[in-house]
């Protein structure tokens, strides 16, 4: 649950940055093409997809069918600045 909440927070930050880049007009986002989630984890941890679900679910909640996307969830030994989760997205915009 904490991991999914962290990825959800990352997706919110991603949307915020997209809004700035699009001069405040999120309606220019036609669809979310792909989401990649990087999860800091031990070698024994295998629930990376469940962690990234927080971000995926938020994008679908916000953008509806346009938020459906291809996805990768990758386990990492460490992430910059000690964060638990990092996400990146490819968005199709007008």
Task: Read off the pLDDT of residues 38-75 as tens digits, 9 standing for 90 and up.
Answer: 999 999 999 999 999 999 999 999 999 999 999 999 99
Q: What percent of the chain has pLDDT over 90?
A: 98
User: Could you give the domains of the chain?
Assistant: 2-93 (3.30.1330.40)
CB distance 51 to 7 below 8 Å = yes
Q: Is 1's pLDDT higher than 90?
A: no
CA distance 69 to 42: 27
Instruction: Provide the terminal-to-terminal Cα distance of the chain, rounded to the nearest Å.
Output: 35
* Distance between CA atoms of residues 45 and 42, nearest Å: 5
Local confidence band at 92 (pLDDT 50, 70, 90 cut-offs): very high
Per-residue pLDDT at 29:
96
CA atoms within 13 A on the CB side of 30: 4
pTM for this predicted structure: 0.89
Average pLDDT, the chain: 96
């Amino acid at each position: 649950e904490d991991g999914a909440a962290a990825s959800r927070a990352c997706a919110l930050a991603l949307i915020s940055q997209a809004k700035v880049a699009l001069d405040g007009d999120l309606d220019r986002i036609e669809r979310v093409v792909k989401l990649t989630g990087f999860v800091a984890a031990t070698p024994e941890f295998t629930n990376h997809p469940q962690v990234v679900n927080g971000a995926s679910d938020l994008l679908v909640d916000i953008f509806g069918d346009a938020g459906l996307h291809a996805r990768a969830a990758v386990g990492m030994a460490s992430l910059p600045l000690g964060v638990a989760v990092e996400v990146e997205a490819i968005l199709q915009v007008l």
